[in-house]
Structures are given as C-alpha cells and as structure tokens.
Chain A
Amino acid sequence: MKNMLKKNYVAKSLLALVAAGAIVSCKPSLQENSPSNGQADFSRYVAVGNSLTAGYADGGLYLEGQQNSFPEILAKQFKAVGGGEFNSPFFAEAQANGSGYAQLSGFTATGTPVTSTVTTNLAYVAPGRFAKYEGTFNNFGMPEMKVAFLESNGYAANNPFFARILGSASANSTYMDVVEAAMNDQKATFFSFWEGQTDVLGFAYTGGSQTLTPVTQFETIYNRSVNKLIGTAKRKGVLGTIGDVLGLPYFNVVTVKALQAAVGQPVTFYVRTGTNTVVPADSTFKFTLPLSSAGLIGVPDAQKRPYGLHPGNPIASNWVLDPTEQALIRTRTNEYNAKIKEIASRNDLALVDIDDLMRQFATPKMVNGAELSTAFITGNIFSLDGIHPTPLGNALTANAFIKAINQHYNANVPIVNVAHYRGVKFPGAAAK
C-alpha cells in the first residue's frame, strides 16, 4: 500500500512536471526596448517641405502616395512616443487619383517599360484647378515648392496644389504665412523641414534651362523659415539635406549606351550644351528620362539630318546635362547642404543626411532580404517618375528621419517595418 502510494506520487509528479512545462509561458521574451520621446515633444507634429513631404509619386499627387508619404509613416511611429493626431490633405475617395499619375502598362518587345497615365477620378474641377480641401491638417508638403518660393506672395496663382489647401487664407498669402499660422493655431510641438531639392531639381530636369537659386538667397529664406518654424514656442524639429539629384533614375536611364542600343548601332550622338555649342556626347553626358519616349531620335529635319545623329540637328540642351552642368549641380547641392547643416547645428535641430542615404543605395544594398537601389523600376526605391520615392522608398526615408531624431533628442522612436511597403507595381494578374 505504501509502495503503491509512492508509485502514484512519482507518476503524478512527473505528469505535473510535463504539464507545467507545456503550460508555462511558451513565448520567449526579448530584452526591454521601451519607446521614449527623449527631449522632444511629438504631441503635435507638422511636416513642411516640397513634393517629397507631400507624398508625390509616379509623376503625380494621388491618394495612395499621400497615404504613404514619409510624414504619414513618421507620424504613425510617433504615436508610440506621445504623438497625436496627424492629417494630410487627402484627396477624397471619389477623386483619389488627384492630379493623375503614371502606371506601368507593359513592356515593348525590346523590354522598354511602357507607362500610361491614369486619368479617371481626378481632383480637377477646371483645368489647373483642384477641388478645395476643407479641414485642418498637419502635412504641408507642397509639390514644386522651392526654397526660393517659400516667401512668395500670391504663390497660389502659380501652384494649384497650394491654391487647393489655402482654405480661408488670403490668395496673396505666402506658403510660410500659411504654415506659420497653422502651427500656432494647432500648437505644433515638432516639425520636419525638408526643403531645397526642387531648387536643384528644377535646374536639373530641364537640362539646365531653369535658374538655380543663388546660395545667399537660399540661405536667407531657409534661415528665416526655420526661425518661423521654431517660433516663440521654441519648437524642436528635424531638417533634411538635399539628396544627390544626379543619382536619381531620372538622369541615369537614358545614356549614350542606351541610345546606341535603341538605334542598334554604336553611332555618335550630338548634343547642344548649356553654353550653346554642339559637341559629340560621350559617356559622361546624362539625358533626362522623358527623352526615351519623346520619339525624337533619328527623326530627320527639313535638310534630312536625323535628330541627334547629325551635328546640324543635335539633341536640344533641355534633354541633356553636360559635364559642366553636372558639376554645377553637385557644387550647388553641396553649398545648399552646407547651409542646411549650419542652420541645423546653430538651432540645435536634428539633421537627416538624405544626400548620404541616397549614396548608400547607389549600388544595390540588401534591406531585410530585399535588394534595393536607386535603379529605375528594379531598384524599388523610386517611383515611375524617376524622382519621387515609392512607398517603400518613403519607409526608408522615414527610418532615416527616425534615426536622426533618436540620436539628436535622445529619443527611442521605433522604426517602421520597411518590408510592409510596396515598391514599383507591375501590370497584369499574378501568374505562376
């Protein structure tokens, strides 16, 4: 009997051990990692900047792009560290395609991507005029906004995106007037200010036709704008440098080699430079992306001289960045960036070096198992316009902002899962 009891005891103990082992919290736990706001207050974040802040992509501003702008992503991450509500001036569902945008519709027989423009459900009420956006919002990202335009009176007349969000403000208001008033109204506590890209880009994508904002003008307006953003409320914020414009797909798809491949022969191409001389183009010349679909190359003029293939009928300067223009772009970008860094440091603001970020992806880099780069379409960072990021590119940007903010403000804003965001979409159904 005694033996029997003991036997049961042993068996029961063992059973209990097994059962206990199976029941105890099966989930392993990791080291503590608590989000924290550090020295910054994220309760009311306002995003200020150009198309990159607006979520412009694929050559247009449309709802999906707006929803995946880097400030939208950033604001979601701020919620873990006391961030409040964040709104962008979204297009309504019925007008979700906004200004229209490009989508990939297929490939030619030789593998050149073919894009088409989405023209349904646009937000235009008249040519060049959008339906007004009603309501308050925190994302002031403004397509085409240069530093040079930040304080321009009556700017709404030149930019339908600005006219769209002007609300009750006077039509004569400058962009910074509107931003400043809204920040005070909303009691903004934190800002991102990523500006200057368009000052360089405007020159670059017109093949050097537009003027570059003079450095002193850039510095004066930039500095004054930052002072307004900081304001009497002594807001904290983050500034971004200008990315390496020449590294954008827009300037790296059409090359002499690609043009020769399209012609099918190693012919010489003639271009008109920025100084109005005609020279044969070598591999140091860059051409803009739209040249690939402009249908100009080889078309004979009245004297039967094929476009681009004869010194008498060269590729026009607006399609070309010659080495001199490229050097100017690089120099000017460095000058602007030096000013941005100086202003960030003087005002004790966080700084995210987008120029450096872009260079990291000039050659393919693995991110969470995905190979990403600045290459057109296959790189997945830039959208079909070759200038603005995809949602995935915006997620990378947001993480770069978070890193800079965490470092500067001793905060621990959690990063975003980049793998959750898409790159360039391909047409058609899924196939096995």
Chain B
Amino acid sequence: MKKILLGLLTVLPFWGFSQSFQVNLQGQKQIAMAGAGTGLAIDEASVFFNPGAVSFLEQNGVQGGVSGLYLKTAFRETGSNITEYNKDKIAPPFQVYAVWGAPQSNLKFGLGVYTPFGGAMHWDEDWSGKYAVTSLDLQAIYIQPTASYKITDNIGIGAGLVYALGKVDLRRAVPVFLNNGQASTAQLKGSSADLGWNAGIYIKDLFGGLSVGITHRSQVTAKVTDGDAIFVVPEVLASGFPTKFNAELPLPATTSIGFGYSVSPSTTLALDVNWVAWNKYKALAFDYNNNERIENTNSPRNYKDAGAIRLGVQHQYNEQFTVRAGAGYAITPVKDGYVTPEVPDANRVILSAGFGYQPTEKFSIDFSFLYENVKSRTQTNIETGLAGEFKTAVYIPGLSVSYKF
C-alpha cells in the first residue's frame, strides 16, 4: 500500500475567547467597566491599558488580580437532536502590575505581567467534532517593563517592551482506528518566547474634564519550534508519524482610542474603541518532522480585522466604596465558514459590574463580574465540514488587591 494519507491534520487552531482568542481581562476595575480604560489613569493597570497614562498615577503601587473564566458552549450538529456542551473548565487569566517613580518626578516606571491571549476549551473525547478538536489549552503570558514620561501637565507618553511566553496543548482524534475500534489521537504541545511592544499617549483634560488615550500594542508572532507531536496510533503505523512540529501564530496588534470624562468629581465615564488587526491571521500551518503518514498542513483562517466598543462608568460612592458597571459590543473576526469548535466565535454583547473597597489609604480590593453573550451562529466549516449551531455564554468573576506605597 502506498503512503497512507491520514485524515488531514487540518484544524489545528489555537485558542478561544473574548473576541476569538484575545482575552480582555487586564484589570479588575476596567473589567467592571466592560474593559474600557485606555482614556483613564485610575490604577496600575494603565501599564497595559495605556503606558502614557502611567506617568499620571500619583502614587507608587502594586496590584495583583485573577479572574475565573467560565465559558460554556452548546453545539448541535445540523439535523441532530443532541446538544453537546464543552466540559466545565475554569481558566485563570491573571494580572500583576507595579508602578513606581520618584514623587514629583515626570518619569515613572512600570512592570506588567498579564495574559492577553488564551483559552481552555475541552470537548468530550467522543463528541461529534472530535476529528476537528477535542481540547485546547492556551496561555500567553506577557511580561512588560514600561517607562512613562509626563511631557507636560496634560500629556504623557509611555512605552513598554513585551516579552511574550506562549504555551499550547491541542488535542484531537485522528480517524485511524486502533484494534479496539477507538480512534487514534494527536496531541500537539509546545511553547514559544517572542517579543513585542506596547505604547500609548495620554492627554488629560483636553477640554471640560475630557481625557483621551491612544495606544498601540504590537503583534507578537508566537513561534513554536520543536513542539512535541504525540500521536497515539496503531503500532504498525507509529514509525511513520511525526514526533515534532513547528508552527507560527500571530497574536494580533490592537490599536485603541479611549476617552475618559468626569461627569462629577465622583463619577467618571470611560469609552474605548479597539481595533484588532486580525487580518494577519491568514492560515494556521503545521510542519512536521516526519511526513511519511501525514502531510504538513496549512489551514485557511482568513480572519478579518475586528473592532469592539466598550462603555463603562465608575462612581465613587464614598471614601471606601466605588461601584462600576459597563457594557460593550465586540465584532467577531471570524468569517462565515471559518468558525471552529475551539473558537466558536461570533459577535458578542458584554455586560459588566463590580465594586471596589478601600478600607485604608494604601490598601484596596476590587471585584468584577463580566458576562459575555456570544451570539448563536449556525455554520458549516469549509475545511472540516462540521456543520451545526454554536452558542456560547461566558461568566467571569474576578478580584484584585492593590497596595500603594
């Protein structure tokens, strides 16, 4: 028999969440305001949201926070009466920030460690789309040292270097059958370390209590070299399967403009518009170190650029309590025909709420809750042929603590 061309290892996409696999959970105060914060200088999370605003932070401070991301997707194959759900799994995106500088100095330094891309999508091992994907775990941790300089009393600029650490673990079933009738499995595991940058400008009191921020976070191209390709296949075929793979994935650039507006000394409105350059995600290609049984793959993704709009409000109730709420809408970068079960993306409505409690001058704690309603989408994937309706809801509670010094 000639070379056995196994079912293409086609759909090896990477990650899922919050506008495809971007995760917009970088500060609990901002999460509670639907993710708006580019035009504000409210806390250390400005290291992420707008390095230009860091120089306007009045005190040195550190904060750390974590969210519990619970995403539930329902899928029903076209024509079936069975609704399948992804498994319960809580992903923990986190964020740690520090900002310091000499008092009265125009120069401030910041450090941020956060997770702007990621996901944890687990389907049943025998679900109807198992040959497309059974599970995906993805984590991208960005470490960002930052400097911010206040040029004038109203204008600050800042920039940070991003060191991006990526980790991926992707599994699927392979339609090569073992002696017990079970399908073979493939697991692709790898890590990456790449560079990027984040820069922003912040203009305070442009007029009448309105501040503006503009930022750009660069694309990071995550390159997995010599990742482990673990194929559990029939013994007679094993020697023809690869053990290593290389892959490359763009973590897209995001440009944001944000406005902050002080309605009153205690009430602030925030509005962000994000533009994510998803069009760079054209295809997902895997190169294997052994092509005897399977060929290298190149799966079209053809994402389009996509935007999101986020509106938040913060009201300081008294010296200790601040309440926040927000709403937003994010447009999916995934075109019709390209929706996959690990990224069952669609346009989404975002609702958020939260509050902050500051018992002392130095210490504060913030809670947030974010709900995302991802629209139902009935699709036939052009590559896998998997046809059905996806519907996703995301629930994300989170908290952070911060300390000023």
Which residues in B have some Cβ–Cβ distance to A below 8 Å? 1-2, 4-8, 10-11, 70, 72-74, 76-83, 85, 126-133, 172-173, 175-179, 181-184, 230-238, 317-318, 320-321, 323, 353-355, 357, 367, 369, 371, 376, 383-386, 389, 391-393, 395, 397
Contacts and interface: CB of A to CB of B under 8 A. Distances in A.
Nearest to B68: A22
Contacts of A425: 177-179, 181
Nearest to B8: A371
A112 to B, nearest CB: 6
Nearest to A17: B353
A406 B1 CA distance: 40
Contact of B5 (A378, A423, A431): A378
A27 B85 contact: yes
Contact of A426 (B81, B236, B384): B236
Which of A28, A30, A372 has most B Cβ within 10 Å?
A: A28
A10 to B, nearest CB: 6
Interface in A101-116: 106-107, 111-113
A368 B128 contact: yes
Contacts of A224: none
Interface in A1-27: 3, 7, 10-11, 14, 17-18, 21-22, 26-27
Contact of B6 (A17, A376, A378, A417): A378
Contacts of A28: 72-74, 376, 391-393
B391 A26 contact: no
A30 B83 contact: yes
A125 interface: no
Contacts of B5: 371, 378
A178 interface: no
Interface in A364-406: 365-372, 376-378, 380, 399, 402-403, 406
29 contacts: A7-B318, A10-B317, A10-B321, A10-B323, A18-B397, A21-B369, A22-B369, A22-B395, A27-B85, A28-B391, A28-B392, A30-B376, A30-B389, A33-B80, A107-B236, A366-B8, A368-B385, A371-B175, A403-B79, A419-B127, A419-B129, A425-B178, A426-B236, A428-B234, A428-B235, A429-B179, A431-B234, A431-B238, A432-B230
A425 B175 CA distance: 10
Given A21-B371, A369-B11, 11 more contacts: A14-B354, A17-B353, A30-B76, A31-B389, A107-B1, A369-B132, A419-B126, A425-B177, A426-B176, A426-B179, A426-B233
B318 A3 contact: yes
Given A11-B355, A428-B234, A430-B233, A419 B131 contact: yes
Contact of B181 (A11, A18, A422): A422
Nearest to B75: A30
A362 interface: no
B175 A370 contact: yes
A154 interface: no
B79 A415 contact: yes
Which range contains the number of A residues in contact with the other chain? Answer: 35 or more
Interface string A345-379: 00000000000000000000111111110001110
B369 A17 contact: yes
A304 interface: no
A10 B126 contact: no
Contacts of A402: 79
A34 B204 CA distance: 57
A399 B80 CA distance: 10
Given A18-B367, A18-B369, A426-B179, A370 B1 contact: no
A31 to B, nearest CB: 7
A369 B131 contact: yes
A430 B371 CA distance: 43
A14 B355 CA distance: 7
A26 B70 contact: yes
Contacts of A369: 7, 10-11, 129-133, 172, 384-386
A365 B395 CA distance: 37
B74 A7 contact: no
Contacts of B182: 422
Nearest to B183: A422
Interface of A: 3, 7, 10-11, 14, 17-18, 21-22, 26-31, 33-35, 80, 106-107, 111-113, 365-372, 376-378, 380, 399, 402-403, 406, 414-420, 422-432
A416 B130 CA distance: 14
B202 to A, nearest CB: 29
A368 B383 contact: no
Contact of A430 (B4, B126, B178): B178
A367 B320 CA distance: 58
Contacts of A378: 1, 4-6
A27 B74 contact: yes
Q: Which 8 A-B pairs have the closest CB atoms?
A: A369-B131, A426-B234, A369-B132, A428-B235, A414-B81, A415-B79, A371-B7, A369-B384
Contacts of B181: 422, 425
A73 to B, nearest CB: 13
A29 B236 contact: no
Contacts of B386: 368-369
Contacts of B129: 368-369, 419
Contacts of B7: 366, 369-372
Nearest to B2: A111
B395 A21 contact: yes
Nearest to B239: A431
B353 A432 contact: no
B292 to A, nearest CB: 10
Contacts of B131: 368-370, 419
A33 B177 CA distance: 32
Contacts of A377: 1, 4
A402 B384 CA distance: 22
Which of B6, B236, B238, B317 has most A Cβ within 10 Å?
A: B236
Nearest to B174: A370
Contacts of A34: 81
Contacts of B317: 7, 10
A361 to B, nearest CB: 12
A65 B73 CA distance: 35
Nearest to A417: B128
B81 A35 contact: yes
B236 A424 contact: no
Given A30-B83, A378-B4, A366 B234 contact: no
A331 B232 CA distance: 46
Nearest to B387: A368
Contacts of A367: 385
B77 A366 contact: no
